[in-house]
Structures are given as structure tokens and as C-alpha cells.
Amino acid sequence: MNSHDLEKWDKEYVWHPFTQMKTYRESKPLIIERGEGSYLFDVEGNRYLDGYASLWVNVHGHNEPELNNALIEQVEKVAHSTLLGSANVPSILLAKKLAEITPGHLSKVFYSDTGSAAVEISLKVAYQYWKNIDPVKYQHKNKFVSLNEAYHGDTVGAVSVGGMDLFHRIFKPLLFERIPTPSPYTYRMTEYGDQEAVKNYCIDELEKLLQDQAEEIAGLIIEPLVQGAAGIITHPPGFLKAVEQLCKKYNILLICDEVAVGFGRTGTLFACEQEDVVPDIMCIGKGITGGYMPLAATIMNEQIFNSFLGEPDEHKTFYHGHTYTGNQLACALALKNIELIERRDLVKDIQKKSKQLSEKLQSLYELPIVGDVRQRGLMIGIEIVKDRQTKEPFTIQENIVSSIIQNARENGLIIRELGPVITMMPILSMSEKELDIMVETVYRSIQDVS
Ligand code: PLP
């Protein structure tokens, strides 16, 4: 088996996610063989800085000895047994730990294995909650509000609350109705004024719709502080807090989807802490195992959990579960990941590094096709435009953004684009020097197409 065979078999047998396979098969694939710290190595021995944290998941670096050992220790005990009718040690300890570290009274943990499933569970729980507490009074509370350009995953429920037309429009006939509300995308909403004015406009619009429709709304789901997949849309300060207040005022459950922003990514362990917001339900995933195993969780407060208690014939049971719910290997890794985050004071380190990074990022404005540089913690989006004045984007045919990504790869950096936005999501443990290299490589990669 050599790299040519692997390339041939990859193109012949593997269907890659979110990928136009016709284009993919015409390109040279990047086939990763191993990882070490902040770097990945392909089958030909080339080294790449992982500026995408392997899809926003990696926390402490690749091939991390303590995480490796946690996995080995657990696999030598047991790899998996079901949570259906029995419990297991790591899932108990992890749930207790998550209850301690998540905000407010979030304390009841329902496990799953992807962010999409965590979102799906939050929607089903929120829907059933109202039926459990009063099926007559709340018979119409069946809908969900979400932001324009929201992304909450790819299962049918998660797509239903999504707002990214490109990904979601084909599936419309399969979806339940969502109620959209404006997203404060300040860069593209300058007609409303500065970010404070954009925030006020979006909050006013949300309040108007809640005034009219709150009786039909079970919950509002939001990516706190930053809409990641939409292109790192950073929300104005105070937006999340104002959303929380409206949810309380109009008796709507607030679901914070922390799948992308949780575990330190924005400079606090959970993003909603920055606005002192405590959701009714929180979804977490991605960084939970430090980037080692698929695991996600939906965490509820006691009031929601209690509404599901009753006799079997009251039909308040939550009929949901997956085969690998509460998998021991994943839970053991998550416990070790959280222990390392705490022991290494990673969140403070991220705060320090993001300050240094924001100074460095300013240099990108020297490049005329850089329209906007957005950053929250170690989440960075660079919006590429044809004309800085008009903010006109390049067309897909012009192929500018993907050429920048390709240049970066040739320069030894893995990053990705989201539409017209170049996104950098470095591994959270990356050193200041590596972060500098990441930005310098992006600078050169943009310069080369300008
Ligand atoms: N929610 C948010 C905010 C996300 O960014 C993502 C993935 O990017 C998801 C949910 C879905 O997570 P997964 O891809 O693990 O299903």
C-alpha cells in the first residue's frame, strides 16, 4: 500500500462530507497519517499546522500522552456497555463534572455522540417539556425560533432550525417550520448604524415576533456570541443577554448551542458565561473529548428534568437514545480533557493568546481584498471581498477564496473557507509562536492571490 493506492481508493470508495465529489476527485487529496502536537502529517511525510483544530475539536494537541493513556486505561477495563437499563463509571463521573462546570443550575446530562444529536435532543426535550407540564394550556407551543444564517447540525431537526439557505433549502419539504429572526451581522448591516444599533434592531425585531407568537413557541435556539458556520459572525456585546431576557419575559425556553464555542474556544469555558447567561438547555460537543472521540451532551436544568418524572402510564418518559449513548471510552477521555483544561489553566492561556492574536490579525487589513477581520477568542473569520468600499464578494467561479486555502496548504497550514470567509480555528493549546506562523501564512496566502 502506497500513497497512490490510498488516493485511488479514497476517490473510489469514500464519500466525503459537505464535498462536491466531482471536484474532489479532480484534486489531490490530503491524506493524513499521524499527528503530533499542533501538527498533522500526510502519507507523503509533509507537515501541516492544524489551523482548523481538525474541525474545531482539538484542545491539547494531537497524540497527547495523557489523553492517550486515559484511552488505554479505559479500554483495558471496558470499551462500551449500554446506558439502557444500566450505568457505567466514566459517564457518571463526567455527568457530575459537567454539572459542576456548566453555568447555573444545569445539572441533568443526556449523552449523545454528535453536536447535531445534542441539538436534536434539546428540541425534543423542549417540545415535550411544555406537553409534560400542561398539554392543554401549552398545546400550541410547538415551534422554534432561530437566527438567520444559524447552523445547528445536519440531522433533520437540527436542519429545521438552521438558516443557511445553501445547505438547507433542498431539504425544505422534510423540515418542520422554524421562525427566523435577524442575526446581528454588523459588517453587512451598516445601514442600521454601528454594532449597538444593529443589536437594538435585531432585539426589537425579535421582541415583535415574540409579542405576536410566543404562545406558539417552545424555545429559541442560538449559538452564543458567535455564529461559526455562517462565517464567524460575532454578535455585539449584550445581544445574548437581551435574548435571554426576552425568552424569560415571553416564557420561551432558551437553548444555547455551545457545540462550537464550548470548552474555552471564545476565552471562557462556555461562551454564555461572558454575558452571565444561564440557558434552560445547553448543547455541547466538539471539544468535549479534546478531539479524540465522538461525544456530545445536552444538559438541562432540574425544572425541565422534573417535568419528565411520572408513572409509566403518564407517558412523560423521554423516548430517545442512541446505541453508543454514554460510551465509556469517550466519557473517560472527556474527563481527562476537562482535568487537563483545569490543571493547565488553559482558559486563561487562551485569553492571553487571543489578545496577542488580535494585534497580529490587524496586519491583514494591509491586504486590499480583506474586508473584515472578526475574532472572538481563538475563533477567527476573514471576509474576503472584491472591493472594500462596496463589499462586493468574489463569485465562486473566480475561485479566490479556495485558492487562498490551497496556497495555505502548500505553505504548510490547514484552514478552511466558509463561503467568502477564511476561517481559522487553531488548536487551543497552540503556542504564541505557532499562532503567529498561522497568521503570517494566511497573510502570504492572501497576498499571493491579490
Ligand atoms: N451546532 C453548532 C453550533 C455547530 O457548529 C455544529 C458543527 O459544526 C453542530 C451543531 C453540529 O455538530 P456535529 O457536526 O458534531 O453534528
Give yes or no for residue 63 having a pLDDT over 90: yes
b/e 310-334 (16+ beta carbons within 10 angstroms → b):
eeeeeebeeeeebebbbbbbbbbbb
375: helix, strand or coil: strand
Tell me whether residue 416 is annotated as binding.
yes
The residue ranges of every structural domain in the chain are: 31-60+345-447, 69-343
Cβ–ligand 1 contact at 231 (below 6 Å): no
Give yes or no for residue 152 having a pLDDT over 90: yes
Q: In whole numbers, what is the pLDDT of the chain averaged over residues?
A: 97
For the CA of 158, the nearest atom of ligand 1: 10
Give yes or no for residue 450 having a pLDDT over 90: no
pLDDT of residue 168: 85
Pick left, alpha or beta for residue 172 (phi over 0 → left; psi -120 to 50 → alpha; otherwise beta).
Answer: alpha
Q: What average pLDDT does this structure show over 102-128? A: 98
Contact 68, 74 (CB under 8 A): no
Tell me whether residue 16 is annotated as binding.
no
Give 336 Cα–ligand 1 centroid separation in angstroms: 22
pLDDT tens digits, one per residue of 245-295: 999 999 999 999 999 999 999 999 999 999 999 999 999 999 999 999 999
Give 91 Cα–ligand 1 centroid separation in angstroms: 22
CA nearest ligand 1 atom 7, residue: 153
Q: Which of 151, 261, 418 to mutate to test the pocket of ligand 1 (most atoms within 8 A of CB)?
A: 151
Contact residues for 187 (Cβ-Cβ < 8 A; gap 6+) = 371, 372, 374, 383, 391
What's the pLDDT band for 390 if we cut at 50, 70, 90? very high
Give 59 Cα–ligand 1 centroid separation in angstroms: 16
Give yes or no for residue 229 having a pLDDT over 90: yes
pLDDT tens digits, one per residue of 430-443: 999 999 999 999 99
pLDDT of residue 86: 97
Q: How far apart are the first and last CA of the chain?
A: 40
Q: Which helix (H) or strand (E) holds 110?
A: strand 106-112
Q: Rounded to whole angstroms, what are the CA distances from 252 to 213, 219, 244, 279, 341? A: 11, 5, 9, 11, 33
Handedness of CA 286, 289, 293, 299 (dihedral sign): negative
For the CA of 228, the nearest atom of ligand 1: 5
For 31-60+345-447, which CATH superfamily applies? Aspartate Aminotransferase, domain 1 (3.90.1150.10)
Contact residues for 318 (Cβ-Cβ < 8 A; gap 6+) = 110, 124, 125, 128, 308
Cβ–ligand 1 contact at 434 (below 6 Å): no
Cβ–ligand 1 contact at 116 (below 6 Å): yes
Q: What average pLDDT does this structure show over 72-94? A: 98
Give yes or no for residue 96 having a pLDDT over 90: yes
b/e 92-109 (16+ beta carbons within 10 angstroms → b):
eebbebbeeebbeebbbb
The interface predicted TM-score (ipTM) is: 0.99
Give yes or no for residue 377 having a pLDDT over 90: yes
Q: What average pLDDT does this structure show over 175-200? A: 96
Q: What average pLDDT does this structure show over 140-157? A: 97
What percent of the chain stands above pLDDT 70?
A: 100
Cβ–ligand 1 contact at 114 (below 6 Å): yes
CA torsion 13→14→18→22, rounded to 10°?
A: -40
CA nearest ligand 1 atom 9, residue: 153
pLDDT tens digits, one per residue of 325-370: 999 999 999 999 999 999 999 999 999 999 999 999 999 999 999 9
Q: How far apart are CA 376 and CA 383, in angstroms?
A: 15
Q: Rounded to whole angstroms, what are the CA distances from 208 to 104, 167, 220, 256? A: 28, 28, 14, 21
What's the pLDDT band for 417 if we cut at 50, 70, 90? very high
pLDDT of residue 396: 81
Give yes or no for residue 1 having a pLDDT over 90: no
Instruction: Please tell us whether the domain made up of 69-343 is placed in CATH 3.40.50.300.
Output: no
Give 327 Cα–ligand 1 centroid separation in angstroms: 19
Q: Which of 286, 288, 289, 322 to mutate to test the pocket of ligand 1 (most atoms within 8 A of CB)?
A: 286
What's the pLDDT band for 397 if we cut at 50, 70, 90? confident
What's the pLDDT band for 139 if we cut at 50, 70, 90? very high
Q: Which of 16, 259, 265, 423 to mutate to test the pocket of ligand 1 (most atoms within 8 A of CB)?
A: 259
Give yes or no for residue 399 having a pLDDT over 90: no
Contact 270, 103 (CB under 8 A): yes
Cell numbers representing residue 354 in the block: 487571543
Give yes or no for residue 25 having a pLDDT over 90: yes
Give 259 Cα–ligand 1 centroid separation in angstroms: 6
